[in-house]
Chain A
Amino acid sequence: DAKTTQPPSMDCAEGRAANLPCNHSTISGNEYVYWYRQIHSQGPQYIIHGLKNNETNEMASLIITEDRKSSTLILPHATLRDTAVYYCIVRVPGRGSTLGRLYFGRGTQLTVWP
């Protein structure tokens, strides 16, 4: 799986958009970009994933650059409950012993302040 680089911490005012960057310059053609978050003391929570097109769901939007070497997770209207560590992961999805694993780095601590 390709390595990712994320800033260790960011902050954002409540109600504003939070834009979390991730660099994955060694990403290969069949690797997807995944985002998870972990609220303090809880298990990680899946947010969104994508291959090369921008994606949006009820939680967030994912913007992937055209060369796929970086991406941005956007929380459009951050709330205090969005304070968490956000993990960007690049991997090949699918079945099988070598493809099913999910490797986490240290992520970005997002703090949303009132």
Chain B
Amino acid sequence: NAGVTQTPKFQVLKTGQSMTLQCAQDMNHNSMYWYRQDPGMGLRLIYYSASEGTTDKGEVPNGYNVSRLNKREFSLRLESAAPSQTSVYFCASSEARGPSSEGYTFGSGTRLTVV
């Protein structure tokens, strides 16, 4: 049981390049999320998908797009990377059946450097 899988684990981009971060979960969760974490900061929500077919902006959506490809997969795209997007990106999923089952599961992260 893999949980949440993110690819790639590391990436270096040049300013202006594009790339897609992939995330897949095998827990049949309805909701999926993308966060970024900068040094000394907590996690900030970029985009989320409450259920298949829906996506919404979080705290810091500018410069990003997302696609909920199916129930398992939620991708994050940087169309034109900027140095300010250098960060660690985490994908997460959850199944909000109610307060007793509210734990989120996070992936191991993608470390992105934009030069």
Identify the A interface with B (CB < 8 A). 32, 34, 36, 41-46, 49, 51, 87, 93-97, 99-107
Q: Which residue of B lies closest to A99 (CB)?
A: B96
**A95 near B42: Cβ-Cβ < 8 Å:** no
**A100 near B106: Cβ-Cβ < 8 Å:** no
**A100 near B94: Cβ-Cβ < 8 Å:** yes
Between-chain CB contacts (< 8 Å), 16 pairs: A41-B109, A42-B108, A43-B107, A44-B43, A44-B104, A46-B104, A49-B103, A93-B98, A95-B31, A97-B56, A99-B96, A100-B48, A102-B45, A103-B45, A104-B35, A107-B42
**B102 near A43: Cβ-Cβ < 8 Å:** no
Could you tell me the distance in whole angstroms from the C-beta of B68 to the nearest C-beta in chain A? 13
**B48 near A101: Cβ-Cβ < 8 Å:** yes
Quick one: given A100-B48, A101-B48, A103-B59, are A42 and B109 in contact (CB under 8 Å)?
yes
Interface residues on chain B, size class = 20 to 34
Tell me the interface secondary structure of chain A in the complex: loop
**A43 near B96: Cβ-Cβ < 8 Å:** no
Q: Which residue of A lies closest to B111 (CB)?
A: A41
Residues of B within 8 A of A101 (CB): 33, 45, 48, 58
Q: How many A-B residue pairs have CB under 8 A?
A: 73
**A46 near B40: Cβ-Cβ < 8 Å:** no
A102 to B94 alpha-carbon distance, docked (Å): 10
A105 to B43 alpha-carbon distance, docked (Å): 7
Any A CB within 8 A of the CB of B76:
no
Residues of A within 8 A of B44 (CB): 104
Any A CB within 8 A of the CB of B2:
no
Residues of A within 8 A of B90 (CB): 43-44
Could you tell me the distance in whole angstroms from the C-beta of B57 to the nearest C-beta in chain A? 10
Could you tell me the distance in whole angstroms from the C-beta of A98 to the nearest C-beta in chain B? 9
Residues of A within 8 A of B33 (CB): 100-102
